Amino acid sequence: MAELSFTEEELKEIEQLKAKFPTAKAATLQVLWVAQRKYGHVEPEVQNLVAETLDVPKSHVHGVASFYTQYYKEEKGKFVLDVCTCLSCQLCGGYDILHHLEEKLGIEAGETTDDGMFSIQSVECLGACGYAPMLQVTNGVYVNNLTKEKVDTLIDNLKNGKMPEFESMAMPELEKRNQAASE
Protein backbone atom coordinates (compact mmCIF):
# COMPACT_ATOMS: atom_id res chain seq x y z
CA MET A 1 0.00 0.00 0.00
CA ALA A 2 1.23 3.49 -0.80
CA GLU A 3 2.22 5.82 2.02
CA LEU A 4 -0.96 6.76 3.82
CA SER A 5 -1.67 10.20 5.12
CA PHE A 6 -4.46 12.49 6.17
CA THR A 7 -5.13 15.66 4.19
CA GLU A 8 -4.79 19.10 5.74
CA GLU A 9 -8.53 19.24 6.09
CA GLU A 10 -8.77 15.87 7.81
CA LEU A 11 -5.99 16.85 10.15
CA LYS A 12 -7.92 19.97 11.07
CA GLU A 13 -10.97 17.83 11.80
CA ILE A 14 -8.83 15.55 13.94
CA GLU A 15 -7.52 18.53 15.89
CA GLN A 16 -11.09 19.57 16.59
CA LEU A 17 -11.93 16.06 17.74
CA LYS A 18 -8.93 15.98 20.03
CA ALA A 19 -9.96 19.26 21.58
CA LYS A 20 -13.16 17.62 22.80
CA PHE A 21 -11.33 15.12 24.98
CA PRO A 22 -8.95 15.44 27.90
CA THR A 23 -6.35 13.20 26.25
CA ALA A 24 -5.40 12.33 22.70
CA LYS A 25 -5.91 8.68 23.57
CA ALA A 26 -9.57 9.31 24.24
CA ALA A 27 -10.05 10.53 20.66
CA THR A 28 -9.01 7.15 19.24
CA LEU A 29 -12.55 5.99 18.44
CA GLN A 30 -13.44 9.22 16.65
CA VAL A 31 -10.27 9.32 14.61
CA LEU A 32 -10.69 5.69 13.61
CA TRP A 33 -14.05 6.76 12.16
CA VAL A 34 -12.40 9.54 10.21
CA ALA A 35 -9.97 6.98 8.83
CA GLN A 36 -12.62 4.41 8.02
CA ARG A 37 -14.70 7.03 6.23
CA LYS A 38 -11.69 7.89 4.14
CA TYR A 39 -10.35 4.44 3.31
CA GLY A 40 -13.45 2.30 3.78
CA HIS A 41 -11.60 0.15 6.28
CA VAL A 42 -8.99 0.31 9.05
CA GLU A 43 -6.43 -2.23 7.94
CA PRO A 44 -3.25 -2.37 10.04
CA GLU A 45 -1.58 0.38 8.02
CA VAL A 46 -4.54 2.65 8.63
CA GLN A 47 -4.51 1.82 12.34
CA ASN A 48 -0.85 2.77 12.46
CA LEU A 49 -1.58 6.03 10.68
CA VAL A 50 -4.17 6.82 13.34
CA ALA A 51 -1.69 5.95 16.10
CA GLU A 52 1.00 8.16 14.59
CA THR A 53 -1.38 11.03 14.04
CA LEU A 54 -2.59 10.90 17.63
CA ASP A 55 0.84 10.02 19.01
CA VAL A 56 -0.52 7.07 21.00
CA PRO A 57 0.91 3.50 21.08
CA LYS A 58 0.15 1.47 17.96
CA SER A 59 -0.86 -1.43 20.13
CA HIS A 60 -3.56 0.70 21.75
CA VAL A 61 -5.20 1.63 18.45
CA HIS A 62 -4.96 -2.00 17.35
CA GLY A 63 -6.69 -3.17 20.51
CA VAL A 64 -9.49 -0.62 20.13
CA ALA A 65 -10.02 -1.32 16.43
CA SER A 66 -10.15 -5.06 17.02
CA PHE A 67 -12.68 -4.68 19.85
CA TYR A 68 -15.45 -3.23 17.68
CA THR A 69 -17.02 -5.11 14.77
CA GLN A 70 -18.02 -1.69 13.44
CA TYR A 71 -14.45 -1.00 12.39
CA TYR A 72 -13.52 -3.05 9.34
CA LYS A 73 -10.09 -4.54 9.81
CA GLU A 74 -10.02 -5.52 6.15
CA GLU A 75 -11.72 -4.35 2.97
CA LYS A 76 -15.41 -5.21 3.02
CA GLY A 77 -18.18 -5.40 0.43
CA LYS A 78 -20.34 -2.46 -0.55
CA PHE A 79 -22.98 -3.58 1.94
CA VAL A 80 -21.91 -5.08 5.25
CA LEU A 81 -24.68 -7.09 6.84
CA ASP A 82 -24.13 -7.33 10.59
CA VAL A 83 -26.40 -10.11 11.76
CA CYS A 84 -26.92 -10.09 15.50
CA THR A 85 -26.43 -13.52 17.05
CA CYS A 86 -26.31 -12.36 20.63
CA LEU A 87 -28.68 -13.71 23.25
CA SER A 88 -32.10 -12.23 22.41
CA CYS A 89 -31.64 -12.52 18.67
CA GLN A 90 -30.21 -15.99 19.03
CA LEU A 91 -33.30 -17.11 20.95
CA CYS A 92 -35.56 -15.58 18.31
CA GLY A 93 -33.77 -17.31 15.43
CA GLY A 94 -30.77 -15.08 14.75
CA TYR A 95 -28.71 -18.05 13.59
CA ASP A 96 -31.45 -19.15 11.20
CA ILE A 97 -31.30 -15.72 9.64
CA LEU A 98 -27.53 -15.82 9.48
CA HIS A 99 -27.47 -19.25 7.87
CA HIS A 100 -30.16 -18.27 5.42
CA LEU A 101 -28.10 -15.28 4.36
CA GLU A 102 -24.97 -17.37 4.12
CA GLU A 103 -26.71 -19.85 1.85
CA LYS A 104 -28.29 -17.17 -0.23
CA LEU A 105 -25.08 -15.27 -0.87
CA GLY A 106 -22.85 -18.35 -0.97
CA ILE A 107 -20.42 -17.01 1.62
CA GLU A 108 -19.84 -17.54 5.31
CA ALA A 109 -19.89 -15.00 8.10
CA GLY A 110 -16.71 -12.95 7.87
CA GLU A 111 -16.50 -13.30 4.08
CA THR A 112 -17.28 -11.06 1.12
CA THR A 113 -18.99 -12.03 -2.15
CA ASP A 114 -16.79 -12.20 -5.22
CA ASP A 115 -18.54 -9.25 -6.83
CA GLY A 116 -17.68 -7.14 -3.82
CA MET A 117 -21.32 -6.40 -3.09
CA PHE A 118 -21.95 -8.07 0.25
CA SER A 119 -20.09 -9.00 3.42
CA ILE A 120 -21.69 -10.86 6.29
CA GLN A 121 -20.62 -10.54 9.91
CA SER A 122 -22.05 -12.23 12.95
CA VAL A 123 -22.06 -9.58 15.66
CA GLU A 124 -23.00 -9.12 19.29
CA CYS A 125 -26.00 -7.24 20.69
CA LEU A 126 -26.84 -4.06 18.80
CA GLY A 127 -29.26 -2.88 21.44
CA ALA A 128 -32.39 -3.74 19.50
CA CYS A 129 -33.35 -6.86 21.40
CA GLY A 130 -37.02 -5.79 21.39
CA TYR A 131 -37.26 -6.38 17.64
CA ALA A 132 -35.11 -9.49 17.46
CA PRO A 133 -33.88 -10.99 15.27
CA MET A 134 -32.30 -8.08 13.50
CA LEU A 135 -29.40 -6.96 11.34
CA GLN A 136 -27.66 -3.73 10.54
CA VAL A 137 -26.55 -2.56 7.10
CA THR A 138 -23.06 -1.07 6.92
CA ASN A 139 -23.08 0.55 10.34
CA GLY A 140 -26.33 2.31 9.40
CA VAL A 141 -29.98 1.32 9.26
CA TYR A 142 -31.40 -1.51 11.30
CA VAL A 143 -33.66 -4.08 9.69
CA ASN A 144 -35.84 -5.53 12.41
CA ASN A 145 -38.15 -8.47 13.15
CA LEU A 146 -36.42 -10.47 10.44
CA THR A 147 -37.95 -13.36 8.56
CA LYS A 148 -36.40 -15.21 5.67
CA GLU A 149 -38.77 -13.42 3.31
CA LYS A 150 -37.77 -10.06 4.72
CA VAL A 151 -34.12 -10.96 4.17
CA ASP A 152 -34.80 -11.95 0.55
CA THR A 153 -36.51 -8.64 -0.15
CA LEU A 154 -33.69 -6.76 1.52
CA ILE A 155 -31.08 -8.42 -0.68
CA ASP A 156 -33.07 -7.78 -3.84
CA ASN A 157 -33.51 -4.15 -2.92
CA LEU A 158 -29.86 -3.70 -2.09
CA LYS A 159 -28.87 -5.27 -5.39
CA ASN A 160 -30.99 -2.62 -7.05
CA GLY A 161 -29.25 0.02 -5.04
CA LYS A 162 -32.20 0.62 -2.75
CA MET A 163 -31.31 1.03 0.90
CA PRO A 164 -33.94 0.08 3.47
CA GLU A 165 -35.71 2.96 5.13
CA PHE A 166 -35.24 3.82 8.75
CA GLU A 167 -38.05 2.16 10.70
CA SER A 168 -39.49 3.81 13.73
CA MET A 169 -40.21 0.95 16.05
CA ALA A 170 -43.18 0.92 18.36
CA MET A 171 -42.60 0.03 22.00
CA PRO A 172 -45.98 -1.46 22.99
CA GLU A 173 -45.32 -1.49 26.74
CA LEU A 174 -44.06 2.07 26.76
CA GLU A 175 -47.00 3.26 24.71
CA LYS A 176 -49.40 1.57 27.09
CA ARG A 177 -47.70 3.24 30.00
CA ASN A 178 -47.71 6.65 28.30
CA GLN A 179 -51.33 6.27 27.52
CA ALA A 180 -52.18 5.29 31.07
CA ALA A 181 -50.30 8.34 32.32
CA SER A 182 -52.12 10.73 30.02
CA GLU A 183 -55.55 9.38 30.97
Partner 1 sequence: MPEVFIDGKRYEFEGKPMLLQFILDQGLEVPFFCYHPAMSIPANCRQCMVKVGTPVKDRETGEFEHDENGDRKIRWFPNPQTSCSTPLQDGMVVHTQETSEEVARAQKDNLEFILVNHPLDCPICDQAGECPLQIQTYKYGPEGSRFEVKKVHKPKRVELGPRVTMDAERCINCTRCVRFTEEISETNQLTIVQRGDDNYPQTAAGEEFDDPYSMNTVDICPVGALTSTDFRFKARVWEMNQTPSIDITNGKGCNVDLWTRDNEVLRITPRENDEVNDYWMPDAGREAYKLFNENRADRPSIKLDGDNQSNTSWNNAIETFAEVLDAHEADDILTVGSPHASVEENFAFNKFFNLLGSSNAKFTPDVIPGAGDDFLITDDQAPNTNGCRAINLDEADSNSLQSAVSGAKVVIILSDDLVGREVLSAADLNDSYTISFATNENDTTNVSDLVIPITCIAEHAASYVNVDGRIQRSYPAKETKYTNRRLNLEMSEGRLDRYGTNFDNWVSEENKVDCLPVWQFLNKLAERINLDFSYNHSRDVFADISEQFDMLSDISYERMDEENGVQLPIKQEEVKQA
State the residues that interact with ligand FES by CB under 6 A. 84, 86-89, 125-129, 132, 134
Q: Is 80 helix (H, G, I), strand (E, B) or coil?
A: strand
Furthest-apart CA atoms within the chain: distance in Å: 65
Residue among 56 and 132 whose Cβ is closer to ligand FES: 132
Q: β-strands 79-84, 135-137: how paired?
A: antiparallel
Residue 129 marked in a binding site? yes
- Residue pair 41/78 in contact (Cβ under 8 Å)? The answer is no
Question: Which residue of 10, 33, 52, 58 would you call a contact of partner 1, by CB under 8 A?
Answer: 58
Question: Do the bridges between strand 135-137 and strand 142-143 make them parallel or antiparallel, or are there none, so unpaired?
Answer: antiparallel
Nearer to ligand FES, 48 or 69 (CB): 69
State the residues that interact with partner 1 by CB under 8 A: 44, 47-48, 51, 57-63, 66-67, 124
Q: Which residues are annotated as a binding site for [2Fe-2S] cluster?
A: 84, 89, 125, 129
